[in-house]
Amino acid sequence: MNKVFISFILCSGALLAYGQSSPDDSTAKIAEEDIGYEVVTLLKIQSAIGPVTTREIIEAIRKSEKLGAQALIIELNTPGGQMESTWDIIREILASNTPVVIYVYPPGSRAASAGVFISYAAHIAAMAPQTNIGSAHPVGMGGANIDSTMSEKITNDAVAKIKTLAAKRGRNARWGEDAIRKSVSITEFEALKDSVINYIADDLDDLLSKIDKDTVDVITGPVVIDTDRARVEEIGIGFANRILEIISDPNIAYILMAIGMLGLYFEFANPGAVVPGVIGGISLILALFSFQALPIRFAGVVLILLAMVMFLLEVKIISHGVLGGGGVLSLFFGSLMLVNDTEFPYKGISLSVIIPTVLVFTLFFFLAAYLAVKTHRKKVATGEAGLKNEICVTRTPVDPDGGTVFVHGEIWKAVSDMPIEANRKVRVLDIQGMLLKVEQVGLKQ
């Protein structure tokens, strides 16, 4: 057990360290002799903007700078995402030595909400046919409007941000403000006409042809993009990011946390079982790894931990359901507020996941409490307490001077105030050392 536990801790620590450390260089596929030549790097983002996509974009910018790439092209298709992650991406783009090109692609894609800000921050913005951009008004989880005062603050902050980006890149500030305040959305042709983007490109080759010889301002000054005969090298997503991307769904993280709690509970309740402890430990580590990518509310975590304490106490203490009921409410409300929906509007823990999980926990712990209470109320079957009031049979006549009875598969010496014949049912009244005091309760069998 100790070896398994130590191995598990080491593996878990390595996984967390890997997630926090600098990602491995996925550009190792690019030969060293290619550095300094006409290389264009490509990153594909086809999801909501969050901490995982932020990591991917930041890594891509740094790798592109290391390679001396002519440009980093980000193929973007996003419904929006977390504002803090968007601001992090914008800061990296503005500080980049490599021109960043946002390309809304493939056809049918969109650059909504956070995608608008990222497109405005890019040195060059382009769209494929049958794409759209806009609808940047701040919303809560699932598209719900957030508190009016908070919404006004966030909206004004976002408008100021889009105006500064528009001035920096020479884009349409008025339309950017309308996209935030009025949630307007436009097609690629309208975007080009209104100076929201620089180009409409049918595909990647068409884009490379159109941006060739463009001059853009990077952090170190003006540079001329040379994409004539440039080779495109796609930047892959590192292993840690792939794992994080899979488990960063709040629903999956929540389920992993629930499995981890149950597994550890079984292990503590049955020391040496090993399997529940290993499964529970791995699940909790993966949940913690996932929570790195989510804006977790501390109050939600505290309520869930409090629920676990209440459930455990319900098993140990007879509270007539008070502790269990409190645990259910604590788990439910803690689950609802676990992920900060105002910071992560396009991902949250679904009620279709929360409710079944809460019900499973509730049924499990109330069943455990019921069995515990049932066990406590069960008649003691061993020791002196287990002998008192037991019905047994006399083997020999029993009187004040003594005799024998058969009880619990054993023959005991016994005495009685009144003479009792052999083979009569008697009840144990008291235990005096190794001597039983009995009385007759039945007739001859």
Q: Of 15-24, 52-61, 179-188, give the lowest mean pLDDT range.
A: 15-24
The phi, psi pair for 123, rounded to 5°, reads -65, -35
At 82, the amino acid letter reads: Q
- Is the pLDDT at 245 greater than 80? The verdict is no
pLDDT at 146: 54
**Hey, which bits of 196-344 come out as E strands?**
199-200, 215-218, 221-224, 231-234
At 99, the amino acid letter reads: P
Tell me how far the alpha carbon of residue 75 is from its chain's centroid. 27
**Hey, which bits of 77-214 come out as E strands?**
100-104, 110-112, 124-127, 132-134, 185-187, 199-200
More confident residue, 60 or 365: 60
pLDDT at 443: 52
How many residues can be counted in the chain?
445
pLDDT at 291: 74
Number of alpha carbons in the 13 Å side-chain half-sphere of residue 30: 24
The correct CATH number of 383-444 out of 2.130.10.10, 2.40.50.140, 3.40.50.920, 1.25.10.10 is: 2.40.50.140
pLDDT at 262: 79
pLDDT bucket at 182, cuts 50 / 70 / 90: very high
pLDDT at 24: 43
From CA 266, how far away is CA 261, in angstroms rounded?
9
Q: Pick the closest to residue 226 from 38, 43, 68 (CA basis).
A: 38
What b/e readout covers 32-53, taking b as 16+ CB neighbours within 10 angstroms? eeeeeeebbbbbbbebbbbbbb
More confident residue, 392 or 93: 93
pTM, to two decimals: 0.64
pLDDT at 300: 83
More confident residue, 293 or 45: 45
Query: How confident is the prediction for the chain on average, in pLDDT?
Result: 81
From CA 396, how far away is CA 417, in angstroms rounded?
15
DSSP state of 47: S
Domain ranges of the chain: 26-237, 238-294, 295-378, 383-444
What b/e readout covers 393-425, taking b as 16+ CB neighbours within 10 angstroms? ebbbbbeeeebebebeeeebebbbeeebeeebb
Residues paired with residue 234 on neighbouring β-strands, in sequence order? 42
Report CA Rg, the chain. Answer: 35
CATH homologous superfamily of 26-237 equals: 2-enoyl-CoA Hydratase; Chain A, domain 1 (3.90.226.10)
- End-to-end CA distance of the chain: give it in Å, rounded: 55
Token digits of residue 389? 């009031």
Which range of 10-19, 37-46, 213-222, 257-266 scores highest in mean pLDDT? It is 213-222
Percent of the chain beyond pLDDT 70? 78
DSSP state of 439: E
Sequence-separated (6 or more) residues with CB below 8 Å from residue 430 = 388, 436, 437
DSSP state of 232: E
- Is the pLDDT at 142 greater than 80? The verdict is no
What is the longest distance spanned by two Cα atoms in the chain?
120
Neighbours of 301 (CB within 10 A): 15
More confident residue, 86 or 253: 86
Q: What is the three-class DSSP state of 317?
A: coil
Q: Is the separation of the CB atoms in 202 and 129 below 8 Å? A: yes
pLDDT at 141: 43
Torsion over CA of 116, 120, 121 and 126, rounded to 10 degrees?
A: 90
pLDDT at 192: 97
Token digits of residue 126? 């382009």
Q: Report, as an integer, the average pLDDT of 127-144.
A: 76
Q: Is the separation of the CB atoms in 123 and 99 below 8 Å? A: yes
Taking only the tens place, the pLDDT of each residue in 393-421 is 999 999 988 899 998 778 999 999 889 88
pLDDT at 37: 59
Q: Is the separation of the CB atoms in 253 and 295 below 8 Å? A: no
pLDDT at 23: 42
More confident residue, 85 or 28: 85
From CA 186, how far away is CA 198, in angstroms rounded?
14
From CA 77, how far away is CA 106, in angstroms rounded?
8
Taking only the tens place, the pLDDT of each residue in 278-335 is 888 888 888 877 776 666 777 887 888 888 788 777 666 766 667 777 888 888 888 8
- Is the pLDDT at 5 greater than 50? The verdict is no
Angle formed by the axes of helices 351-377 and 298-316, nearest 10°? 20
pLDDT at 313: 75
